[in-house]
Amino acid sequence: MSQTTPVRADPESIPRSSPPPEFEIEAVSAASDLSDEQLLDLYQAMVLGRALETRLHNMYRSGRLGGAVYPGVGQEAAMVGFVSALRPDDIFGGTHRDLTAHLAKGISLESVALNFLGKADGPSRGRDGNSHFAALDVGSLMVVSPLPDAYPVAVGTALAFQQRNEPRVALANCGEGATATGTWHEAVNFAAVLRLPVVFTIQNNQFAYSTPTDRETALRHFADRAAGYGIPGQVVDGNDVLACYDAAVTAVERARSGQGPSIIEAETFRRLGHAGHDRADYVPDEIRSGWEERDPLARFEAYLTRRGLLGDDQRAEILADAEQRVVDTLEWAATRPDPDPTTVGDGVFAHRLVPVDDRPGPTEGPESTMIDAINAALAQEMERDENVFLMGEDVGRFGGAFKATAGLYERFGPERVIDTPIAEMAMIGSAVGAALMGRRPVVELQYSDFIYPGLDQLVNEAAKYHWKTGASVPMVVRGPSGGGLRAGPNHSISPEGLLAHHPGIKVVAPSGPYNAKGLLIASIRDPNPVVYLEHKKLYRSIKEPVPEADYEVPLGQANVAREGSDVTIVTWAAMVHTSLEAAKRLEAEDVSVEVIDLQTLIPLDWQTVFASVSKTSRLVIVQEDSPFASIASEISARVADELFWELDTPIKRVTPPQVHVPFAPALEDAYLPQVEDVVATVKGLAIR
């Protein structure tokens, strides 16, 4: 058997990045059928972008602008060429470097200036700066730092277009470096599998910060990745605005006509550093000069001049006008008001406009398990609102790993019960995009443990959208959580503390069939991202009457599961039953226990907790989640803070130890809080 020695890249070698451009210096594609006026519009858009980026960069370097700048100088052909292929109601999802593209999509110069200066009336009202904004009114998605987070969201907008049969398209753009992320791969695969109307563009500007392209991919071209997804990929001269435009028009029309996604890579060059502070000393001179000879603006000017569309005077006038507009707008923006510091806590959640039906729901109904109650809630909401749809792994014909979606595929069809690839980032991110377009997605996680691979989209997109842009994101992520089924460390977590730690996510944890149905209906109707945790041990272990009619159990309201006067137990999900059993045993010993079932962890019903502790003067918190920096810690701290003088005893917590959930029955039983632990803790308070 022959042995081969692996050939590894020499870390000291001169980077292959920035291959000598293969494209002509002079040539500008003439395939496009744009009118003279449209050609000049493209030119003006490129000039304005360059004027803005250059001015911002100079301001930053001279200490007149805070925050950050990520100049796209040198990339104007790709930015303008790609976005100009879109219609006004199409969607663009870009990154930190896409200012010129956002301008071409229609965001005003004023909005951009206000955002850079963190002003109150800017698009993110001072909550984010530089190019990190959204302009949903012109179809530009929110820009956030993690790369390329707008990809899955753009895919979700395309999903909404496909579901509604609307002839609209999304274009998602990023740099070549970002194509190495799992986010990118999940988004492209997801779109390819579902044949969504989306175009993926890559601006290969030769460096990801300082990293050359041969440390980013082993392929010759980034567009070669397309073959791995079964979609077309193409490389274009990214410094030729018409080549970019033509390629994008073809890809956009392909997507619009239902033929699915494609990838376009624009080979271009970032003329300035990665950011304002970076002098890009790592770019070899010969590479820089090769590309600078092919500057996209100079090439297009030469083309327009050759065609007799641009004279020297007109060129000078266009440049001067753009520069003056930029200077005037930035000076004007500087005079606008800063955000009011008293609003720092505002806007995390959208207010629900449809009134919550908070009449106590009917309590009569046939006996049902929790899994059937969840299934009924999904079916009724899908029946009531055609915007509600489900997606997840195996949720279709198979009915989900725990059968929560059984029968829904047959009833509502494959467009509303979507089997997805294993791609939590793509599922959650595309739910955000679909929600922004007016849909009400419900994502099933096969186990709540798989929230981890989707967490970036949850906390950086779903949770931040309303706070930063004012747009609401009504979506539910639901799935089985909790232990007790001998499922081991990766199928048993209780992630409520993890989720509650992030602003902008509501967290719901039902304890039985009745509240499971009402809370799920309320979660679907809520205008915010809600994570709905279904304790899998409760799925089939208890039955109670569940009304057939639809009803809501309002979010943010706890339930007094048992009244008592000596001690308050605050708990939720499966631990409600452990605590109720403990309360029963303690009653025999003449200790009266009040059990509060929180039902919703975010927002938490402090009023009910405080009222109960004021009455009993004692508090025990029982939780299944790990103890360190958890919901139990937070409740302890808040109650100690606000009700210290009303407490007769220390606050106690009954929790697992700070370890992973173990598999062996003996270990898992030792891990999970048991009735005896609760009884012992309450007795330890020496009430009698």
Encoded tokens for 590? 């003449």
Least spacing, CB of residue 555 vs ligand TPP, in Å: 32
Nearer Cβ to ligand TPP, position 98 or 597? 98
- Binding segment for ligand TPP (CB under 6 A), chosen from 175-183, 228-236, 276-284, 389-397, is 175-183
Could you give the CA distance from residue 218 to residue 210 in angstroms, rounded to a whole number? Answer: 17
Cα→Cα distances 651→161, 396, 648, 681, Å: 52, 46, 9, 10
Least spacing, CB of residue 226 vs ligand TPP, in Å: 17
Total Cβ atoms within 10 A of residue 220: 12
- Binding segment for ligand TPP (CB under 6 A), chosen from 139-147, 487-495, 594-602, 650-658, is 139-147
Least spacing, CB of residue 225 vs ligand TPP, in Å: 14
Residue tagged active-site, from 132, 466, 491, 577: 491
Least spacing, CB of residue 419 vs ligand TPP, in Å: 28
**Where does residue 575 rank: exposed (0-12), middle (13-18), buried (19+ CB within 10 A)?**
buried
Question: Which residue of 177, 212, 392, 527 would you call a contact of ligand TPP, by CB under 6 A?
Answer: 177
E runs forming strands in 253-378 = 262-267, 367-368
Nearer Cβ to ligand TPP, position 457 or 600? 457
* 475: enclosing H helix or E strand: strand 475-481
Nearer Cβ to ligand TPP, position 216 or 295? 216
CA of residue 169 relative to chain centroid, distance: 20
Nearer Cβ to ligand TPP, position 174 or 283? 174
Least spacing, CB of residue 205 vs ligand TPP, in Å: 5
Q: Are 447 and 478 in contact (CB under 8 A)?
A: no
Give 483-512 as a DSSP string.
-SSS--TTS---THHHHHTSTT-EEE---S
Q: x/- contact string, 143-162, with ligand TPP (CB under 6 A)?
A: --xxx---------------
Residue 491 is among the residues annotated as catalytic for this protein: yes
Instruction: Report if residue 232 touches ligand TPP, rule: CB under 6 A.
Output: no
Encoded tokens for 488? 């081991």
Nearer Cβ to ligand TPP, position 101 or 555? 101
Collapsed DSSP state (helix, strand, coil) of residue 188: helix
Start-to-end C-alpha separation, the chain: 80
Nearer Cβ to ligand TPP, position 178 or 226? 178
- Binding segment for ligand TPP (CB under 6 A), chosen from 177-185, 188-196, 327-335, 519-527, is 177-185
Instruction: Report if residue 459 touches ligand TPP, rule: CB under 6 A.
Output: no
Question: Which residue of 129, 139, 175, 504 would you call a contact of ligand TPP, by CB under 6 A?
Answer: 175
Q: List Cβ neighbours of 6 (8 Å cut-off, separation of 6 or more).
A: none
* 669: enclosing H helix or E strand: helix 665-671
Q: Looking at beta carbons, which residue is closest to ligand TPP?
A: 175
Q: Are 621 and 570 in contact (CB under 8 A)?
A: yes
Could you give the CA distance from residue 152 to residue 229 in angstroms, rounded to a whole number? Answer: 15
Q: Which phi and psi (to 5°) does residue 596 adopt?
A: -100, 120
- Binding segment for ligand TPP (CB under 6 A), chosen from 142-150, 368-376, 517-525, 647-655, is 142-150
Encoded tokens for 121? 């009336």
Instruction: Report if residue 174 touches ligand TPP, rule: CB under 6 A.
Output: yes
Nearer Cβ to ligand TPP, position 297 or 685? 297
**CB-based burial, 92-126: b 16+ in 10 Å, e otherwise:** bbbbbbbbbbbbbbbbebbbbbbbbbbbeebbbbb
Residues in region 266-305 near ligand TPP by CB under 6 A: 270, 274
- How do 529-535 and 475-481 pair as beta strands? parallel
Least spacing, CB of residue 145 vs ligand TPP, in Å: 5
Nearer Cβ to ligand TPP, position 100 or 568? 100
Q: What is the CA radius of gyration of the chain?
A: 29
Nearer Cβ to ligand TPP, position 219 or 406? 219
Least spacing, CB of residue 554 vs ligand TPP, in Å: 37
- Binding segment for ligand TPP (CB under 6 A), chosen from 140-148, 350-358, 364-372, 515-523, is 140-148
Q: Are 606 and 638 in contact (CB under 8 A)?
A: yes
Instruction: Report if residue 176 touches ligand TPP, rule: CB under 6 A.
Output: yes
Least spacing, CB of residue 453 vs ligand TPP, in Å: 13
Question: Which residue of 111, 131, 140, 181 would you call a contact of ligand TPP, by CB under 6 A?
Answer: 181
Least spacing, CB of residue 368 vs ligand TPP, in Å: 44
Q: x/- contact string, 188-227, with ligand TPP (CB under 6 A)?
A: -----------------x--xx------------------
Residues in region 79-108 near ligand TPP by CB under 6 A: 97
Residues in region 7-36 near ligand TPP by CB under 6 A: none
> Considering CB under 6 A, how many residues would be counted as binding ligand TPP?
15
* 600: enclosing H helix or E strand: strand 600-602
Give 58-97 as a DSSP string.
HHHHTTS--S-----TT-HHHHHHHHTTS-TTSEEE--TT
State the amino acid at position 543 in one-letter form. Answer: K
Name the residue with tokens 């629900």: 352
Nearer Cβ to ligand TPP, position 101 or 391? 101
Which residues have a catalytic role annotated? 491
Contact positions vs ligand TPP (CB under 6 A):
97, 145-147, 174-178, 181, 205, 208-209, 270, 274
